[in-house]
Every structure is written in structure tokens, then in C-alpha cells.
Structure 1
Amino acid sequence: MMSKETMEPIDMEIDGTQQSADPLVVEEATQELGSEPYDDEQPSYVPAELVKPWCSNDASVLYHCYLIQMKQNFCSHIPVNNVVLGLRSELNCDIANMNFDLVVDKGTITVNFKKATEIHLSSEQVLQCRRFQITIFRILVDCNLQNLKEVLERLSLGQNLGVESINYLLLPAARMHQKPLIIDWECVMSVPFRSEENSEYHIDCSPPNNCSGVLHTKNGMVCTCRVQNSLVYTPHTSLLYCITGLLDDLNGNSLLRPRGRRARTYKTHYEEKHGINLRVDQQLLLKGRHIFRVQNYLLSCRQQRKKESKPVELPPELCSIVMSPLSISNLYSFSIVPSIMYRLESLLLALNLKNMILDRCTENVTIPTIKVLEAITTKGCQENFNLESLETLGDSFLKYATSQQLFKTYQNNAEGLLSGQREKIVSNPALCKFGCDRKLPGFIRNECFDPKKWTIPGDYSGTSFLSEDLPFNERNIYIRGRRKVKDETVADVVEALIGAFLSTGGGIAAIYFMNWVGIKVDLVHIPYERHFQVQPEKLIDVRYLKSLLNYSFRDPSLLLEALTHTSCMLPKIPGCYERLEFLGDAVLDYVITFYLYNKYRDMSSPGFLTDMRSASVNNDCYALSAVKAGLHKHILASDNVDNDIANTVNNFGRLSIESTFGWEIETYFSEVLADIIESLAGAIFVDSEYDKDIVFQSIRPLLEPLVTPETMPLNHIRESKDICQKMHYIMKKPVIYTSNGVVTRTIEVEAKGAVMYKHTSTVSNNKTAEKVACKYFLRSLKETNLE
């Protein structure tokens, strides 16, 4: 059963001002929010935790070190190694202890962050670390050495020091993760490679230390142990390879593996194909592997598995060593790091937004950062989570909270006025303005991660410089360029954040966020003032309806009002059902959505909740429920409306439908029947002093059986759009004609410039017509095998 929000007044502090639960001032809340055009060019924020100016004057720099632990959940001959993340500021514990999975070609890799130690690095050590990470990431991202020399030279000259930019260290972890050997300094010192020098980490390979001697390379004479586990460049092909060892049985005079009709040696091959004469043809060949390409491992779908590159035999004299020592495991691990850092950056953005919202909150509100991240992540990111479920939940609560606020504050306003006032608050333009006023667009994630655009920390060769901004409450954050964000996206994020606060902090947290963003509402009960002297028992069967609804009205005149159509307004009746329908529609929408969200939290996709809600919360379902429960017999209406209802009952009787949900009701029905379910929900809500749980307990039996993942019909509209997008079909703008309350809708689908499908539906309303048209379109595809 759903949790019941408190009905006590809410006092909260926002921006230092005490906010009380006074009635909504609609003149303020419903001002023309869309008067200024929306600028879709919005800033893109970078969390301050990843930004610090580089400064060569510091004799010693403190770094907080975190171990990025990677665990392969599959068998592989190339294991992953841990990586050290060095930050100038300490991570929040909510972030420092996170874990998540990445999807790679063979399976998943689980990533964990673990606080390791704090270290002080000299300015020369920091410079060496930057040389290493710029070199390895440039190679992995670009797969070439273009501009690398120029970037490193600029780095050595100390240019661009002191400017605000992405600043953190990503370094190979030592095998023994014990202080002070957390960093594999031997690998870090591999840049630049100098053949004439033996670093302090280089082993004496002279006999009798089992070294096979030296090899002739483009760098000159190099010890064998330094060539193995190295990254090399072959100028004649402009390719990079990771060397994993020597081929004990192959040299330049060995025969190539059969690749054609004629057998030839490696030496002959290089002479004929590249015009190169191998001078040291007795040297053993090197075993190489093409380097890895950086990919987006955050995608929800598994990467398309490619054939692993075959080992390559390379003459040492044609190889120029770029980095040594560098194992293939380290190279593979660093190819995964950009995806990890993008997730970390996203989480830090979510944390900054959460802190910005809760900065001056006096309530005990605890919201997991991962939930905020979900709320600011759009479907376009193509990750295994997005805002759709939270948006659906937040949309229902927004409608519920604003509807009850307007209903209780404006007790003399007709339903039409209330609906208009609500639209000014919950419409996309209004929500977009609320979000922009709080600078939410800068936090939104609306694009798929592109590793090619990832900012390599410390690499100033691109447009990596940042400008500082104070988005709210004097919390600084940084701007990295601008990007397009649709106004609908901003509105969706506002709703999703409502859903995030609601799902983890309850109604109080959701109301707090709504007040923070500018939507002033509360959950305080205000009595519904009524001045009618009426005896409902003389007009309706109160006792039977009490049994049907399993609810006893304190004020039976509310029940009478809920059953009275506007065509039957008599002096002795307090009013028609339209105001209660306005309220009940919102209450039912919320309680059903909240129920589905909590019951099916582990649904396969974020859009599943949206489909389940659409299948459950609609006029078709409510009308069927009313007929099954016999409520049509108790509606007070004119003869014309009664006849209309009778026709609907006859139509439904021929359908023999057992369930009360679905997408495919094609027959005409009177919307009065759907309205009655909603007005009864509104009447119970008011009579029970805003107890939504009682509403759900009372109305739910009428709607049974509720939709489940197993019984939910296909969403033909969504499926049709997905297929058209996938197959590059064009669904033309429909032709819609309305006459005597009946809608005729014609759709056409084009393929390669020709009409491949055309269908006309004539049903009760435009929304149903769209569902029916899409249903028959899908059926036609299956029958003709066009999909």
C-alpha cells in the first residue's frame, strides 16, 4: 500500500526566506510564463571537483587518490588492471563508494571506486604524470601520433598554466596496492621513451639475467626487455601496435604464412610491398597487436562484437618505441577509462544539482545522487537508465498537487477556469521557464557520450578552457561551451526531478522541490465549503453506492454532486460533477501511477511505466469500469445524455470485454461514463480530507483487474513510430475529420517516396483513432512481411 503523506502544514526555508503553506496566489503562479522566447542554446556544466588551475610554482601538490577497480565478468586472455584517479579535492562519500557496470563486447565489467591514500607530488612529478596521460589518451582516442609532439612540447614549456581547466590525474596502479606504491611509476616514466637511458626502474638485462640481448629499432639499439611490453609506431604504415613479446621461431628470413599463391619471406615481402630492405634480417620478429579504440561502454545495448585482431609479426628495425614499459592490459584498461570518467562527471553534476536544491532545506530530505542523475539523463544518452519513468511519476504528482491546490483555493471557480489555471502551471512552456529560472538546463544530459569529444585532463590543445559560473546559492560550477536543449526536455527534467524527490523522499520532498523550482503548492487540507440543504437519499441510492464503493460519505451531498451531469441542474442539487471530475482525474492518475511505479520498479525499460500508465489511466478504461459496476444506472442526466449512455452500454455489451484496460476499443462510448469514475474519486478525496489512499482503496476494485506486465497490450503508437524510424518509413501528417462527435482519421506511410500503406479509422475520438490506425498498420506489416 502506498505511503500516506502528512497533512500537516509544511514550513520550509528556500533562499533564506521562510515559505508557509498559504493558499496559492494564482495571479503570481500563473503569470504568462512563456512571454520571453526560449533560447535553446544552453550552457553545459562541468563539476568543480574536476577543475583546478595547473600551477608550476607549487613545490608540492596534494592529491586524493582513488583506486578505480575493474572486475571482468567474463573470461579473457587480456585482463584489466586497476587505475589510480588523483583529484585535488576529496570526493563526497556518496560518489566515492559508487559501483556500476560497463557493457563491453564480451560481457560486463564492474567498476568500483575505493579511497586509497593521499600523496604529495612535486611539480616535476605532476608534469610527468600529465605527459603520460596525454600521450596514452591521445593515442587511444586518435589512434595516431598527429600533433602529439606539439602538445607535449607546449606542456614542457609551461604554457597555459594557471588557467581553469579539467585537472586530475589518471595513472596506472601498481600491482601491490600498498603505500606508497599505489602508482606504477615505471609505466608513468615511459614517456618520452629514451633508448640511451636506463631509468631507475629498468632491470639490468646483461647476462646472467636471462635477457636475449639488444634489438635494432628505429630508436637505435634497445634492450630486449624494453621492447617487450611496449607501444610502437611503424612509420611505413603510420600504425600503432602494442608489443606483447618475441616470436621465437620467426625472423626476417622466415616464410610468411600463406597469404597468396607464392611463398615468400618477410624480407622479400617488405622489399616488394614497401620498398624497404631489412638490414638486420636475423632478428626475431616482434609479436604485435593493433591498439584498442576508445568506445562508449555506457550504452544500454551490448557493443557489436568484432573479430579480435590477429597478432601481427613486426621486424624490430621498422618499429619506433613510443612508450615502454606498457602492458597490453594497461592499454586495454585505459581505453575503458573515458567511459568511467564520463559517468563520474555525470554523478558529480547530479551531486552539485542536489546540493544546490537542498542547500537551505530545513526538512530532513535525503535523495540518492543516482536518482538525481536518472532524472537529468534523457533517452538520447542511450544508457541503461533515463528519466522516462521518473518523468511519468513526477508528471502525475505535479498534476495532483496543483489540482488539489487550485480546487481548495478557488472553491467557486468552474472546472474550465481551474483547468486553464492548471495548464499555465504544468504546461511545457511554464515548466521550461521554471527550470531555466533555476538554471537546470546546464545540468541536463541530452547526448550520447562521444569518446572523441572527451576532454583529456591536462591537454590544452583543444577548446578545454572553462568559465566559472554561480548557478545558485553562490555555488560555483564551470561552463564548457553551449549546446542545444529543447524546451520540452527542460520541462521533462523538471517533472523527472519531482519524481526523483517523490520516489525517495516522499510527498514532503516532492513538495519541497516544487516550491524550490517556483511551483507554490502544499498538501494542507482546507474544508470544502458547502451551503446546500439537500437530501441525497431522495435522488440517489446512497446505501447501494456505499456498498459498491466500500466508502461511507460523511457528506452524502458530495456523492450526489459526483453523479450529476451538467444537463440535469436542479435547484435542489448542489452542482454538477465537473469540479469533482477535475480533481478526481488528477488524484486517480497519481495513485495509479504511484502504485505501478512501486510495484514494478524492476521493469525492463524506463518507458514501460509510461505504457502501463497509458493502458490504465484513460477514458476507455474508466468507461468500461463504470458499465461493469453498473454506475450508469445512477447518473442524473437529461434524456439525451441517458440515451447516449444507453447506446454505450449496448456497444460494450457486444464486446464481452472482461478487463478494463487496453488500447483497442474501437466502438463509440459516452465520455460521461469515464467522467463519473473520476468525479467519484474526487468526491471521496474531498470527503476523506484529502486521503488519496482511501480513494485508491475505494476505486481500485472497480478497475480490476489492473494491468500487469504480462497482460499489458502493445502500445501500437510507440511501436509504429519505432518501426518507421528503424525502417526509414515516413508517416505523413494524418487527415482528421470530425462530425457529430465521431472522428475519422486517415494515415499514410511512405517508403522510398511511394505510399506503402493507407488506412482510415472512424471511432469515438481522435486519440482512439490514432491507436486503431497504428494497430492496423502493424497488422498490415506482419501480413505482408514488410517489417
Structure 2
Amino acid sequence: MEEFGNDHPCYVPSQLVNCSSNACSVKYHCYLMELKQDFKCKVSVHDIVLALRSELDSEIIDTLSGTSFNVPKGKLSLNLTRIEPIQLSPEKVESCRKFQTTLFRILLNPDISKLTSVSDDFSLGDNPEIDYLLLPATDKDQRHSNSIIDWKSVNSVPFSSESTCECKDHVCDVRIQNGSVCSCKLENCVVYTPHSGIIYIVTGIMELNGNSILNRGCKGTCTYKEYYKNHCGIELCFEQQFLLYGRRVFKVGNYLLKDRQKKEKVSKKNSVELPPELCSVIMSPVSVNTIYSFSFIPSIMHWLESLLVAFNLKRILLDHFTPKDVPIIKVLQAITAKECSEAYDYDYLETLGDSFLKYAVGQQLFKTNQNDREGALSKERERVTSNVALFKNGCSNKLPGFIRKEEFDPKQWNIPGDKSKSLLLKEELVSDRKNIYVCRTREMDFKIIADVVEALIGAFISIDDEEGALSFINWIGINVDTNIVPYETHLSVDPGNLVDVKLLESLLNNYRFKDPYLLVEALTHSSCKRPEVGRCYERLEFLGDAVLDNLITMHFYKEYSNEKLSSEFFTTMRSISVNNECYALSAVKAKLHEHILCDSVVENKIAQTVKGVENLSLESTFGWELETYFCEVLADVIESIAGAIFVDSGYKKEVVFESIKPLLEPLVTPETARKHPINELIELCQKEGYNRKEHRQIRKNNETSVTIEVVANGITHQHTGRAFNKVTARKVASKEVLKLIKVNNGSKLLMNRRRSFLLLSTVFLFCWFLNEMIYHLVYN
């Protein structure tokens, strides 16, 4: 792993980058970002124009349109439409960059020392740089005759008190920190108050002045002039001037988070009355609605950038093979880690991809290594599909740069056109014809890269494109195919003389074996030394394990993907059904143990298992019911029979599922699914803060004892589980401790309810008694 190092690139999509700027005019492709809020707010959102040097693909536009964002007050939806491109001179581009940089610095870091100055360079350079424009749109009723871009707001910075005024009254007698201006320039502007170091958005002029009364609540009243003199040490010289209504700058958050943020409490200090003479104007005119709309832009642009990264990866894949049209939202989901805390992450797809990769590699090894035993096959599959191997394959194909692994921080967002960070973009060739840009390097756990490889496989599987998934697996460096290779069986006698073929076929949904020798092999344990019997079931078990895992995983995905199950719950359902315990119970239920060819030692172990489950209800075989020893041979034959049907049917997975499904029914559902007792107890203790201890295991008389102790709400719950192995003993102990905790919590809840009932009864009787006393006093 160290040969690849810890520094992995982070890509910036080429659609947001410019490489040359020597032209007399620059063409920008424009898109109208229509914002719509589903909540009530004193400030409404306005549309914004996005101008890019490259055209956006229609799939990007369609995917971005209709996206909603979790903002503090509710939902904000976005619609993106293509509008006419514009030609801008380099000077005009500088003005646009200066506007957006100033506004975003105000929003992201409202510090006057961080604002733009004459030393800032906003020109288009010759080196690669992030280059797109975000400009306020005009009001909808003005768009039919004027430019859709609100150039007045764009030109609001740098502010000059000497600029011309369109006010009909031409009353330029308002004194401010940086000159004298007409009052109309103060109705929509951004100001800085040097005495407090705070930036405010001015939304209007009040009918109050310095001599007006300021009500300070319990602290009494005074004039504004007296307040500033006594509390700020400032003598107002123009107290007759009307005060400005200012509000604090909007907070910018991460609006991509999966969970809705808590509603912000509006502080009274957000709104203030400001004497104009204490204000230095930064931008004018710019409306509060425009500034409010721009506060959402960092999250929106981060989302667009993420979509473009996914789109570029999709194009690279299309260059190498032609899968179905996998949506970019699926690719984006596959490259998004859970640490991003967004609506999409790769957990679901990684489960699908892991299962399919195990199947694809398993069937490839089975058919191309027919002389290898199960141990060698398993070892080779583990090597090929291990996290280390997938990590190396992912790095070789430059996948790490596409991965999104951190929660978005708006304060770290790269403002387009802002060169203060000295962001250097390095061009990198990621495929034969595709270039992309590296903005920085970062550390990344090797497992994340391995998970993304599996999730990308899962992206194809989720749209029912196994051919695309196989092509991707080959592209990353793992050779697999779906060619059918004849399988040699090694029997010299009639299969009917060894097993009851017809009876077994009736148990398998009446599947008819073309080669019954495969069924014999699937039921032959390695301990069987009969000379007329060929190979044991281990190779078929190896194959069937992977086939069943994939089939059951896909069944749950297709059956319940629309029910919005969490990835954790989906994994839980899968683990409940794809395990040896489940398969062993299914074998006993179907009485397959009566047909296994093995020696007396294995027969005794099987008989011991059958006896141990006599008191269990076998109506359902999923879950974690077994509390005693079970012979894994019973589980093995379920998998080996699945492998036999797979080979006999010509590698048709759907035939395997239809044949094996009756043995496993009823399959688990979201309503019947329960977590493994060990995991459930651990999660409960973590959630409630219970102290859990597991005492060391004791092995005696072929039995393992494990004691688990949990202190919950001051009460100690303890149980010792005894079983053939440690795992089962831990499971038994955990299950019993869970019962004890639930019983105690139930009793506590019942006691609390009784206390509440008694209290309410007492209050009722007291009120009735008091009412009777009052009645007698009044009327007697």
C-alpha cells in the first residue's frame, strides 16, 4: 500500500476551468438558476445567472434541475435553464469577478480586512484557473426588454460616492464615512461600521434620526445620540439624518447535508438602526434579496461540481466500454463516501458491487481452474477481491481523484476569480483523450478507494447491467467473462444408485438435472470413502456460496429498494439470510441431511444438530435461532446444490433462485428482520451509555462459556452463555441480557405510568374536593 503513498489527487472538472485569456472578447455559456423557496421568509430569493466557458451537457442540466436543498427554514429548489451566451471584454470579466469575489468574501468571512482592494488581481490569466461567473439576474418583469443580468448590481463594487445618481430629487446631502451621497444609494447597499467592525446589509431608510427615542427595555430609554455617546464614545454630528435599517450578513451553511438542519433562532441583534455618518459603503446598489440568494450558491456550486466530476468519470468509462446509460446520479452516489453526510453515499451500491464481484470472480475461477480444490479457489478469490487489491486497481486507473470523502465546508470553497488563495491547478491526463485538473492532494484510507471500486460495480448492477459491470471489472484489471466451460464429472455408476434424484428434484421446485452426477457431487462430503463416488462437494460449495450471496442480495434490492431502507438495514437483511446458520436450518427443514453421503463421524454431528433444533419452530429459517452446536456440512450442501444447479443450467442464476428459494422460504422482510443479538446489544449500550463487559471465555468439556455483563440505569444484568463455540456462546449470552434489559425497562416504564396515573388521580380528587368546599361555603 505504501508504494502508492498517502497523497491522492482531488480533481476539478475541466468545465469550470479556463486555460487561455488573450482574446479581445470572451464567450460565456449562460444558464439561469431559478430558485424557489417553500417557506415563508421576509426576504425572498432571486434568480442568478451562471456563466461558464464550456457548455453543460443536457444530462447535467436535467439532473441539477429539480434538486432541492435543506436550508434552515425549509426547502430550496433549483431549476436550471439554458439562455443566450454572452461575449464579455476582459475588463467586463474583471468587473464580474470583482463583484462576486467581494460578495462571497462578505458572506463567507465578514471581515473588512478580507475584502477586495486595489491590490487584488481579477484579470484572466494564462495559467489554468477556476473561471465561471455568478451574476444577479434582473427581475422577471424587466427581462423582456433589458439584459437578463443585473449590471447595476454587478457594478456596485467598487463603490464611489462620486458616481452619478439617477434619483429624480438629486438630494445628495447624506453624510457617510466615505463621502456624501444621495439617499437613494443607501436604500440597498452593504456597509461597514468602523466603530464596531461589523458589516451590515442596509434594506431601507427609517423615519427615525439621532434624536429619536431608543427603548432599551429594562435599561430605560435614551436618544440614539445619547446612546452612541455614552456607550460607544461617539458624538453624532449629523443627528438630523434619518437612520438606516441594517441587518447582519446571512450565515452560509452546508445545505447538502442529509438531515435537515435545526432552524436558526433569529436574534434581535441581527437588526439594528445605523446612523449614516458611522457607515462606510462597500457595495451599492445591491438588494438584500440578491445577497440572500448568493448565500446558497456555495452549496449549489459544490453540488454542480460534484455532478461534473461524476459526469467526467462516466465519459472515461464510456471511452473504454459501452455499458447501458448509467445515470450520473448513480456514478455520483458511487464516488461519495458516508463522511460527506449527504443524501447519497456509496454504502448501498458497495453492497451490491461486493456481492457481484464475489460472484463474477468465483465463477471465473471455478470454470478456469477445474483441478483446484476449494481451499485454493477461496484463497485466490480473496487475493483478487481483497481491499488491498481493489485499492491498487483503483489507483492504477486514477479513481481516487474522483472520490468525494469530506463534508463540504463553505468557508473552504474556492471563490471563482479569487486569486488570494494562490490556487494552482495542474493538468492531468486521466484517459487517452480526457484531461482533468488537480487542485490539491489529500490523504485517503485505502478502504475508501476499495469501497468505491465495488460501488461503481454496484452502480451498473443497480440498473440491471451485468454486462457493464463485467466490462468495468475487466477495465480495472480483473479478468472475468461469462463464457460457459464444460464441467467434467467423475462418476462411473448410475446416480440413482447413490441418491434419490427424483425426490431431491421435487424439493428443488421440480428442477430436472441434465447431469444428475452434479447432484451426487453436491451431496458428497469429503469424508465419504466409497470408491464409486467421485469428487466431494467443496468446489460446488465454493461456487454456490457466491451465486446464492448475489441472488439473495439482488432479491432484497429489487424487492425493497423503493421502500427507502437505510443501507445499514439492507445489510442487516442480507446478513440475516446469507449465513451458515440460516442455510443449516433450511437443510434440516427440507430433510436434506438424510441424503448426504459421508462417514459415521459426520453423520453423528449432523444427528446432533437435528436433535438440537427439534424444539425450534422451522416455519422460518432466517434469523439467529440456533443456540446449540450445528454441523456446517448442512449449510455447505445448500450452497453446493446451488452451485450444481448453476453449472447444470448453463450458468443461469435465475434458475438457481427459483429452485433454491422454496428451501429458504419464507425469506426475511423489513417487518420480520432482527439484528444479530451481539450487534443489537452493542448498539444499545453505545446509544444509551450502558457499561458492557465481556468476561473471558472458558472452555470445558467441549463447551465454551462466555459471560456478558451490562450495567443499565444502575442495575447489573448478567448471563453466561454456553455453546459448542465462542460465537454461539456470545450470541446466547447477548440474547438473554437483552431480554433482561427490556424486561427491566418495560417494568420501569409501567411503574412510571402508574405513578403518573396516581398523580393525576390525586390532582383530580383534590380539585373535586376544593370545588365542593367552595360550593358549600358560597351556598351554605
Normalising by the residue count of structure 2, what TM-score does the alignment of the two structures yield?
A: 0.89
Q: Deviations over 1:636-688 (max 9, x none)?
A: 22222222222222222223253222246433222111111111111110111
Amino acid at match of 2:163: E
Q: Secondary structure at the match of 2:342?
A: coil
1:138-217 map, 5 Å: 138-150=105-117, 153-155=119-121, 158=123, 161-176=125-140, 177=143, 181-198=147-164, 203-206=166-169, 214-217=173-176
Deviations 1:374-408 (A, max 9, x none): 10001111001110111000111101011111111
Within-5 A mapping of 1:70-81: 70-81=35-46
Equivalence for 2:484: 525
Instruction: Give 1:115 shift.
Output: 1.3
Alignment partner, residue 701 of structure 1 = 662
Aligned equivalents of 1:730, 1:480: Cα separation in 2: 46
Q: What's 2:574 paired with?
A: 613
1:389 match: secondary structure: helix
CA contact (8 A) 2:128 2:425 kept: yes
Quick check: 1:267–1:277 contact (8 Å CA) kept in 2?
yes
Alignment-mate amino acid for residue 94 of structure 2: L
Note closer, same or farther for the CA distance 1:89–1:277 as it changes in structure 2 (3 Å cut). Answer: same
State the match for 1:24 in structure 2: none
Does the 8 Å contact 1:615/1:712 carry over to 2?
Answer: yes
Shift of the 360–727 alpha-carbon distance from structure 1 to 2, 3 Å rule, reads same
Q: Give the Cα separation in 2 of the matches to 1:473 and 1:102.
A: 37
Other structure's SS at 2:465 match: helix
172 and 398 in structure 1: CA distance in 2 versus 1, 3 angstrom threshold:
same
Distance 2:178 2:386 in 1: 67
- Asked if the contact 2:709–2:737 (Cα under 8 Å) also holds between the matched residues in 1, the reply is no
Higher relative contact order (CA 8 A, sep 6+): 1
1:237 aligns with 2:196: yes
Q: Find out whether 1:299 has 2:263 as its counterpart.
A: no
Q: Please point out which of 391, 399, 406 is paired with 2:365.
A: 406
The residue that corresponds to 2:53 in the other structure is 88
Q: Contact 1:534–1:557 (CA<8 Å) still a contact in 2?
A: no
**One-letter amino acid matched to 1:203:** E
Deviations 1:6-35 (A, max 9, x none): xxxxxxxxxxxxxxxxxxxxxxxxxxxx6x
| Paired AA for residue 351 in structure 2 | T
Match of 2:495 in 1: 536
2:528 is aligned, of 556, 563, 568, to 568
C-alpha displacement of 1:491:
0.8
Match of 2:435 among 471, 476, 479: 476
Per the alignment, in what secondary structure is the counterpart of residue 203 of structure 2?
Answer: strand
Deviates more, 1:526-535 or 1:653-662: 653-662
Taking structure 1 as reference, are residues 255 and 431 closer, same or farther at Cα in structure 2, changes over 3 Å only?
A: same
The answer to whether the 8 A contact 1:664-1:772 is kept is: no
Aligned pairs for 1:520-669 (under 5 A) are: 520-550=479-509, 551-602=511-562, 603-663=564-624, 665-669=626-630
1:264 aligns with 2:229: no
CA deviation profile, 1:58-77 (whole Å, cap 9, x unmatched):
32000001112222122322
- What's the counterpart of residue 775 of structure 2? none
Query: Kindly tell me: are residues 342 and 613 of structure 1, through their superposed partners in 2, closer, same or farther at Cα, counting changes over 3 Å?
Result: same
Structure 1 Cα separation of the partners of residues 288 and 46 of structure 2: 10
Paired residue secondary structure (2:320): coil
The answer on whether the counterparts of 1:732 and 1:749 sit within 8 Å (CA) in structure 2 is yes
Q: Give aligned-pair identity as a percent.
A: 51
Q: 1:120 aligns with which of 53, 76, 87?
A: 87
* Corresponding residue of 2:756: none
CA contact (8 A) 2:426 2:437 kept: yes
Contact preservation (8 Å) 2:694, 2:706: no
- Residue 778 and residue 437 in structure 1: after superposition, are their counterparts in 2 closer, same or farther (change >3 A)? farther
Unaligned runs of 5+ in 2: 749-780
Task: Provide closer, same or farther for how the CA distance between residues 331 and 781 of structure 1 changes in structure 2, counting only shifts above 3 A.
Answer: farther
Q: 1:347 to 1:746 in 2, by over 3 A?
A: farther
Q: In the TM superposition, what whole-angstrom CA distance separates every residue of 1:324-360 from its partner, at most 9, and x where no partner exists? A: 1222221111111111111111111111111112213
Match of 2:418 in 1: 459
AA aligned to 1:508 is: E
Q: Conserved in 2, the CA contact under 8 Å of 1:41 and 1:482?
A: yes
**Equivalent of 1:280, from 238, 241, 262?**
238
Q: Secondary structure at the match of 2:613?
A: helix
Structure 1 residues 113 and 179, CA gap change in structure 2 (3 angstroms): farther
List per-residue Cα deviations over 1:172-199 (Å, max 9, x = no partner): 112234586121111111111111112x
Counterpart of 1:679 (choices 614, 636, 640) is 640
- Alpha-carbon separation, structure 1, partners of 2:202 and 2:740: 56
Contact 1:388/1:610, CA 8 A, preserved across alignment? no
Aligned match of 1:227 in 186, 189, 194? 186
Do 1:38 and 1:487's aligned partners in 2 also have CA atoms closer than 8 Å?
A: no
Decide which structure has the larger Cα Rg and report it: 2
Question: C-alpha distance in 2, partners of 1:760/1:699?
Answer: 37
- Which residue does the alignment assign to 1:365? 324
Supply the distance in 2 between the matched residues of 1:262 and 1:465 (Cα, whole angstroms).
57
Judging changes above 3 Å, is the alpha-carbon distance between structure 1 residues 776 and 63 closer, same or farther for their aligned structure 2 residues? Answer: farther
Q: Check if 1:253 corresponds to 2:211.
A: yes
User: What SS does structure 2 have at the residue aligned with 1:527?
Assistant: coil
Superposed CA deviations along residues 498-522 of structure 1, whole A, max 9, x for unmatched, are 1112222511101100010001100
1:783 Cα offset (Å):
6.9
Shift of 1:108: 1.4
* 2:98 matches 1:131: yes
Q: 1:746/1:428 Cα in 2 relative to 1: closer, same or farther (>3 Å)?
A: farther
What is the deviation of 1:282? 2.3
Match of 1:6 in 2: none
What is the RMSD computed on CA atoms of the aligned residues?
2.8
Which piece of structure 1 moves more, 765-774 or 448-457?
765-774
C-alpha separation in 2, matches of 1:663 and 1:462: 56
Q: Secondary structure at the match of 1:232?
A: strand
Offset of residue 466 of structure 1: 1.0
- Say if 2:98 and 2:116, in contact at 8 Å, map to a contact too: no
Contact 1:534–1:574 (Cα < 8 Å) also in 2: no
Aligned length: 738
Match of residue 291 from structure 2: 331
How far apart are the structure 1 equivalents of 2:744 and 2:691?
18
Output the CA distance in 2 between the equivalents of 1:315 and 1:435.
61
**1:719 deviation in Å?**
5.8
Q: CA deviation at 1:414?
A: 0.7
**One-letter amino acid of the counterpart of residue 87, structure 2:** H
2:10 maps to 44
SS of the aligned residue for 1:655 comes to coil
Return the TM-score normalized by structure 1: 0.88
Q: Which residue, 63, 76, 97 being the options, matches 1:109?
A: 76
Distance in 1 of aligned mates of 2:559 and 2:575: 16
Q: Could you list the per-position Cα deviations for residues 70-113 of structure 1 after superposition, in whole angstroms to 9, with x for gaps in the alignment?
A: 22122322221111111111112211222322111122112222
Q: 2:450 is matched with which residue: 475, 491, 497?
A: 491
CA contact (8 A) 1:585 1:679 kept: yes
CA distance in 2, matches of 1:690, 1:470: 40
For 1:462 and 1:757, how far apart are their aligned partners in 2? 58
- Corresponding position of 1:59: 24
Aligned equivalent of 2:764 = none
Letter in structure 2 aligned against 1:506: D
Per-residue deviation at 1:274? Answer: 1.0
Q: CA deviation at 1:303?
A: 0.8
